Amino acid sequence: MAIRRILTYPEPSLKNVAKPVENIDGRTVSWIDDMVHTMYAAPGIGLAAPQVGLPQRIVVVDVGVDDDEEVERGKHLLRIVNPEIVEAEGESVFEEGCLSVVDFRAEVKRAARVLVKGWDTEQREVSLEADGLLAVVLQHEIDHLEGTLFIDHLSRLKREMYSRRVKKALREGRPIAPERSAGESA
């Protein structure tokens, strides 16, 4: 397993729609293993293949919580090939962040419950009902497969503020600085 570089905004390929996986073979499983290793190393709770430069419809997710307690890493690991949201209902708002949107978090409105279908690495069909954090993470990662970042769900003003901050940091050749709240000093 290898840790892959996670692409970050404003990388243009993050806006591309991923292609369906035609055959789940050893190469596909190897990519997925790399994605899992990369997600845990980041650390993150979800990762989509386009975030590591693979234009394929693959997501890995591990929300890692059970009854509000941390559990052993990998116990809740999901590897889904060609995931698709087939049902969505309700509405919830969660504060989201993203490994590809550095040092920025914001509240995003999403469906409260989803039904996701896809395939596992053994080529078996997967059907998963999710709510709460898992529903949010699945929607977030599947958005990546459509070329959508969580900031695309925000107001134009919030997106532009983040974009300006990132572009300024890139022009100046410095890392993107974390946001500061109004009460924090520079």
Q: Could you give all domains of the chain from N- to C-terminal order, each with its CATH number?
A: 12-171 (3.90.45.10)
97-147 pLDDT, tens digit each: 999 999 999 999 999 999 999 999 999 999 999 999 999 999 999 999 999
Per residue in 39-51, pLDDT (tens digit) is 999 999 999 999 9
The active-site residue, picked from 141, 160, 172, 184, is: 141
Q: 142-171 burial by CB neighbour count: b if 16+ within 10 A, else e?
A: bbbbeebbbbebbeeeebeebeebbeeeee
Average pLDDT over all residues of the chain: 90
Annotated catalytic, 70?
A: no
**What's the pLDDT tens digit per position in 7-16?**
999 999 999 9
CA–CA separation, 48 vs 35, rounded Å?
8
Which percentage of the chain shows pLDDT scores above 90? 82
Query: Could you read off the pLDDT of 152-167 as tens digits, one per residue?
Result: 999 999 999 999 999 9
Helices first, then strands: H and E counts in the chain: 3, 9
Q: Is the pLDDT of residue 179 over 60?
A: no
Q: Token pair of 42, please?
A: 């980041």
Tokens of 53: 């430069």
Q: How many angstroms separate the CA atoms of 149 and 140, rounded?
A: 8
